[in-house]
Amino acid sequence: MLSRHAEAFFWLSRNVERAETVARVLDVTYTRSMDQYAGGTWAERSWRTAIAIATFTHPAAVRLGTRAATDALARCVFDAENPSSIVSCIGTARGNAIGLRSELSTEVWEHINELYLDVRAESADSIREGSPSRFLRRVRDRCQAIAGVSAATLLREDGWYFMQLGRFLERGSLEARILSTAESLDDPWPEWQRMLEMSSASFPFAQAATHLQSARDATAFLVFNATFPRSLAFCANEVEAALHRISGSPGGSYGDDAEKQAGRLCASLNFANADDLVAEGLHPFVRRILTTIESLIAAIQSVYFPRVPVVAPALLHSDALAG
């Protein structure tokens, strides 16, 4: 596969995944701000956290205006200058899809294009006048539909595996960033319930429960559960599997630096547990995982999407004279 096509598949799925997560995080925050978090420091903290996740910043660096919800929607949904806003992500995904038009099924292209047109038809004012939650859930559902239609209609060839690679790298990175916004494992349970909701994990976590659950159990579920498709461990294992599918190298080994970094990430999650996380501390653990993910992304860029400079041929003396 051409490197530019592989990179387009990779970034298409990363941006769809990011738009879906940002929509879900904002929807959970908006919905909760209408009930027990209405007003006060809890609401402010919730919006600060949501903006930090959606803009890849630290919650302490987020500055809120007098209308936190309005500010968050403007910044995280419609701000074209923010590369992680929903408008930017969907626009970038569509741009990549245009370059891949001959490689995508008609159904995948139609879903991406319809989502793009839908988002472009709205504005911060229009969704405030209607229902922000309804709009955000529509974006979330359409992003999930793109993933579902892709799974149902694309051949299991390199393009698909680059999509898987981008999707689970982005999902794992965003899940780590969600966890990084927790102040500590001693946060009150409503805060951890909100974290579970932002990760679509409330029902799976309750289903897996064998006893009265604590914040430590919630964290361990989001990090280590091998069967929950948004846990860090699940995402890491899917990334490693996609890399081996692309290269054809056997599992349990590595043929390049990307596979080496992926194996390191999997080992740090598959051979650890809640006790290790508590001993290291939530924030140091998450920072280490994020650093490994960033190294892995850089390795993938180097191995599969190298930026090869175009070198002009040397100008010979005779050429100069002829000119």
Write down the pTM of the prediction.
0.90
Q: Rounded mean pLDDT of the chain?
A: 88
pLDDT of residue 318: 41
Q: Are 166 and 9 in contact (CB under 8 A)?
A: yes
Listed in sequence order, the DSSP H helices in 78-214 are 86-99, 106-120, 124-129, 132-153, 158-180, 189-198, 202-208
Q: Where is pLDDT greater, at 230 or 30?
A: 230
pLDDT of residue 312: 46
Q: What is the rounded distance in angstroms from the CA atom of residue 98 to the CA atom of residue 95?
A: 5
Q: How confident is the model at residue 310 (pLDDT cuts 50, 70, 90)?
A: very low
The answer to whether residue 92 scores a pLDDT higher than 80 is yes
Q: What is the rounded distance in angstroms from the CA atom of residue 263 to the CA atom of residue 257?
A: 10
pLDDT of residue 99: 94
Q: How confident is the model at residue 36 (pLDDT cuts 50, 70, 90)?
A: low
Q: Are 139 and 20 in contact (CB under 8 A)?
A: yes
Number of H helices, E strands in the chain: 16, 0
Indicate the domain borders of the chain.
1-154, 156-308
The answer to whether residue 183 scores a pLDDT higher than 90 is no
Please report, in angstroms and rounded to a whole number, the separation of the first and last CA atoms in the chain.
40
> Which residue in this structure is represented by tokens 């999407």?
305
Tell me what the mean pLDDT of segment 11-21 comes to: 97
Tell me what the mean pLDDT of segment 79-89 comes to: 93
Q: Are 233 and 224 in contact (CB under 8 A)?
A: yes
Of the listed ranges 32-41, 53-62, 63-72, the one predicted with least confidence: 32-41
The answer to whether residue 264 scores a pLDDT higher than 80 is yes
Q: Are 300 and 166 in contact (CB under 8 A)?
A: no
Tell me what the mean pLDDT of segment 255-273 comes to: 95
Spatial CA neighbour of 154 closest among 109, 116, 117, 114 = 109
Neighbours of 168 (CB within 10 A): 24
pLDDT of residue 323: 39
Of the listed ranges 68-72, 75-79, 118-122, 234-238, the one predicted with least confidence: 68-72
pLDDT of residue 31: 87
pLDDT of residue 73: 86
